[in-house]
Amino acid sequence: MRTDLAASYGEERLPRYTSYPTAPHFSPAIGADAYAGWLSELSSSASASLYLHVPFCREMCWYCGCHTQIVRRDELIAAYLQTLRSEIDRVADAIGRRIKVEHIHFGGGTPTIMAPDAFAELMAAMRHAFFVLPSAEIAVEIDPRTLTAEMVEAMRLSGVNRASLGVQSFDPVVQRAINRVQSFEQTASVVDMLRRAGINGINFDLIYGLPHQTVASCLDTVRRSLELKPDRFSVFGYAHVPSFKKHQRMINDNHLPDGLARHDQACAIANALKEAGYVQIGLDHFARPDDAMAVAFKEGTLRRNFQGYTTDQGDVLLGFGASAIGHLPQGYVQNEVQIGAYAQSIANGQLATAKGYGLTDDDRLRADIIERIMCEFSADLGDICARHGAEAGAMLRSASRLKPLISDGVVRLDGDRLAVASDSRFLVRSVAAAFDAHLDPGKQLHSRAV
């Protein structure tokens, strides 16, 4: 990988393109009434994925960029879950039938903070409201420091088949700097519990660019992680935005690696995982060659949504809980971010939609191009534009940010087919941004490109 390009482009603040347009462009013009109308208009053949946001943790990790809060009283969690069940019923009523569900994802926060019986009740409520297919993937994000055997049993009985474990780094110096001390032994014990329960889909989340992190510490974390043989890795660059996430001010800016050091860490992790036999998928995922995600990448059916890369082919993403985002054919919706406002909306008999975005034909065209670039490092602009009734030439002429990328050898154009050079794939977000008609480079809303 080319360090000259990392120096040239690495400091740019760009979206991760888990949606297009991205969330900063959502507007209060799309509210609860619009969402209810969109739900009622869903095709009878549509299938859905469900995302449930549980915005609670026992303590704050200082690197965290999620919508979460620290809670000590379990009564607050129980009240929130009751609201969540009411929202599920309200959305199902607006749809008017039991829509098919192919994926369920619990995120947070720490979803496993809820009591085991409450988790089982929540899963039962979803199965009552929706037709959860027997083959559905049911995934839960887990903090290995707090997972109990009782919760693992509840997950098993509820049909959970994938667990995503937050690892970040096994370096104790880094762990202390981010307020997340988590031993290798804790993580290994949780992996063993999950596998004994038949929950065999195991993902590890790693982060580079953390305070005091080095290439050597990143490689040691990879080496130890490989001992536990997860199916997939997600490898993210730390997004330091203390102006938006005040707890990140606990991290000393002087202890953060610069852009080139982050680039070196990302490359080292990627090379180590590939040498261990994992297939690199898109920007930041790695999977065993026989894993469903690796197969989807090879076959060109990989998708991208708010959970990152996915095998999910559903037409609809329904988001539940405070701050949760949904995606329907008509556009995006996001719930109230603050827990109190979210709960009040549901208590008032309304949907909790606070803002959203209605897609235009141009948005859908650009979203398809950006998704293929992010998923495949290439895009057949002629084919995509033809499907949308547009001209590839006009799209290329509108992408002024593409010219320097072509000049620098990051992008190759063969007729209307665009491809990211193999040694420049770490800049895939920069290439996708060339087709982003809403991007405002002056606003520092996103993480660094490298």
- Over the stretch 5-52, which tens digit does the pLDDT of each residue have? 777 776 787 999 999 999 999 999 999 999 999 999 999 999 999 999
Predicted pLDDT at 4: 74
- Other Cβ atoms less than 10 A from the Cβ of 270: the count is 21
Tokens of 116: 């085991």
pTM above threshold 0.75: yes
Superfamily of domain 20-320 in the CATH hierarchy: tm_1862 like domain (3.80.30.20)
The distance of Cα 156 from the centroid of its chain, to the nearest Å, equals 24
Compute φ and ψ for 168, nearest 5 degrees. 70, -70
- Other Cβ atoms less than 10 A from the Cβ of 288: the count is 17
Helices in 100-147 by DSSP H: which ranges?
116-129
Predicted pLDDT at 158: 98
Sequence length of the chain is 450
3-state SS class at 418: strand
Domains 1-19+360-450 and 20-320 are alike in CATH topology: no
Predicted pLDDT at 12: 80
Q: What's the CA gap between 105 and 108, in Å, rounded?
A: 10
Sheet (strand 378-380) strand order: 378-380, 417-420, 411-414
Q: Where are the domains of the chain?
A: 1-19+360-450, 20-320
Fold classification of 1-19+360-450 is Arc Repressor Mutant, subunit A (1.10.10)
Task: Taking each helix axis as running N to C, give the angle between helix 116-129 and helix 149-157, from 0 to 180 degrees, rounded to the nearest 10.
Answer: 20
Predicted pLDDT at 40: 98
Predicted pLDDT at 11: 72
Predicted pLDDT at 221: 98
- pLDDT > 70 in the chain, percent: 97
What is the longest distance spanned by two Cα atoms in the chain?
61
∠ at Cα 265 (263, 269), nearest 5°?
120
Predicted pLDDT at 293: 96
Q: What's the CA gap between 221 and 209, in Å, rounded?
A: 13
Nearest alpha-carbon partner for 104 in 57, 48, 165, 150: 48
Predicted pLDDT at 244: 85
Name the β-bridge partners of 448.
13
pLDDT < 70 stretches in the chain: 1-3, 10, 441-450
